[in-house]
Structure 1
Amino acid sequence: MKLSRRDFLKISGAATAGLALSGCTTMGFQKKPVEEQAWKIRTQNAQETPSICCYCAVGCGIICHTDRQTGKVIYTEGDADHPINQGSLCAKGASAYQLAINDKRVTKVLYRAPYSDKWEEKSWDWALKEIAARVKASRDKSFTVKNAMGQVVNRCEGIASVGSAALDNEECWVYQAMLRALGLVYIEHQARI
């Protein structure tokens, strides 16, 4: 069968019109109102809290919807009133909901001893004490009081830090102050990388 361009357009137009008139949801004619209605029902009694996306240094606005009774996250969306993203989000920001609601998220401390092939569950108290002990041991081992010219430098070159863009300005200031108090020289922030 030979089909001219004109015949192809006629057939395509007729098929499109037929699908549209038949009420098929694949064309999007009835899908959008149903989705809007479902979204309104899901977030009807939710509390809206404006927040900032935690993934990069752009600082996009996110609205987090939480259930008023349980406080659990129901839904997240881009903040249309935010001057930076005006409601749009990248793929990572759009998936921010999964940070709070994810059945695969690790919520316990898992530790694998050197040369071991098994993970062990440990308490948070054990983990914090272990981290503090290791930071102190590394700092004591690599701390320099004076340089080669005899000048007092009080620096630690055995530890480096790459911060997180998930921290706000105040948290970054506290984190930076702690690192400087330890004498760290190599301090970077993820937002600049």
Structure 2
Amino acid sequence: MNLDLSRRSFLKLAGAGVAATSLGAMGFGEAEAAEIAHVRPFKLTNTTETRNTCPYCSVACGIIIYSKGDLRKGEKADIIHIEGDVDHPTNRGTLCPKGAALKDFVRSPTRLQYPMHRKPGSDTFERISWNDAFDRIARLMKDDRDANFVAENMAGVPVNRWTTTGMLAASATSNETAWATFKFAKSLGIAGFDNQARV
């Protein structure tokens, strides 16, 4: 069969084909119409949104955590989905591969969720309470500071330094929290103070 098309007829036919496929791609096909008639509920409809910061690096990307149960109230919650926060100025909804895999990080069976203590000479860790962990940290810090605090240098000039303990601060905090953290470290005399962003 010999089909004789002029240039004008070919362009009209091509334009009609583009229009038809564009309408189908936008959801005006038969399959889409049938799916619209039977709409399934969105999987995140009955979840609680909690905004947070990705814990991996010093970029401090914003994330949204979707959970069954309210994390903001301290409830035990099952995390369903984690995605980038499009309203966050740092990442605008994008996440690196580590950030995109946060759900696996949070739900990992090897994730440490409680304070653990390994007693001297033991080969196993034991779970302890948060109060016991804070008390132990405070006691060890106080003992070390008392034993190693340098009030003045050899020339007799007051320096008030604690050089045997260092502090590593988080970089995903606000300016106010960073200021308070720095003041806390310096009020103890800690000389070795650094930030996660430089590590």
Q: TM-score, normalised by structure 1?
A: 0.68
Matching residue's letter, 1:147: N
Q: Is the 8 A contact 2:60 2:171 kept in 1?
A: no
Change (3 A) 1:68 1:125: closer
How far, CA to CA, are the matches of 1:168 and 1:96 in structure 2? 22
* 2:164 maps to 1:158: yes
How far, CA to CA, are the matches of 1:171 and 1:85 in structure 2? 21
How far, CA to CA, are the matches of 2:175 and 2:56 in structure 1? 15
Q: Mapping of 1:43-82 within 5 angstroms?
A: 43-67=44-68, 71-82=77-88
Name which one, 1 or 2, has greater alpha-carbon Rg.
Answer: 2
* Equivalent in the alignment of 1:101: 107
1:16-37 deviations in whole A, cap 9, x for unaligned? xxxxxxxxxxxxxxxxxxxxxx
Q: Is the 8 A contact 1:55 1:165 kept in 2?
A: no
Change (3 A) 1:118 1:52: closer
Task: After TM superposition, give the deviation of residue 166 of structure 1 in Å.
Answer: 4.6
Q: Mapping of 1:1-193 within 5 angstroms?
A: 41-67=42-68, 71-193=77-199
Identical pairs, percent: 35
Q: Is the 8 A contact 1:53 1:62 kept in 2?
A: yes
Q: Is the 8 A contact 2:165 2:192 kept in 1?
A: yes
Q: Is the 8 A contact 2:167 2:193 kept in 1?
A: yes
Q: Secondary structure of the residue that 1:42 maps to in structure 2?
A: coil
1:111-156 deviations in whole A, cap 9, x for unaligned? 1122222222323222221111110111111111111121111111
Please report the RMSD computed on the Cα atoms of aligned residues, expressed in angstroms: 2.5
Q: TM-score, normalised by structure 2?
A: 0.66
Change (3 A) 1:166 1:100: farther
1:138-186 deviations in whole A, cap 9, x for unaligned? 1111111111121111111111112223544443333222211110111
**Number of residue pairs the alignment of both structures matches:** 155
* Equivalent in the alignment of 2:8: none
Task: After TM superposition, give the deviation of residue 40 of structure 1 in Å.
Answer: 6.5
How far, CA to CA, are the matches of 2:169 and 2:65 in structure 1? 24
- Give the unaligned 5+ runs of structure 1: 1-38
* Equivalent in the alignment of 2:10: none
How far, CA to CA, are the matches of 1:40 and 1:103 in structure 2? 30
Change (3 A) 1:54 1:40: farther
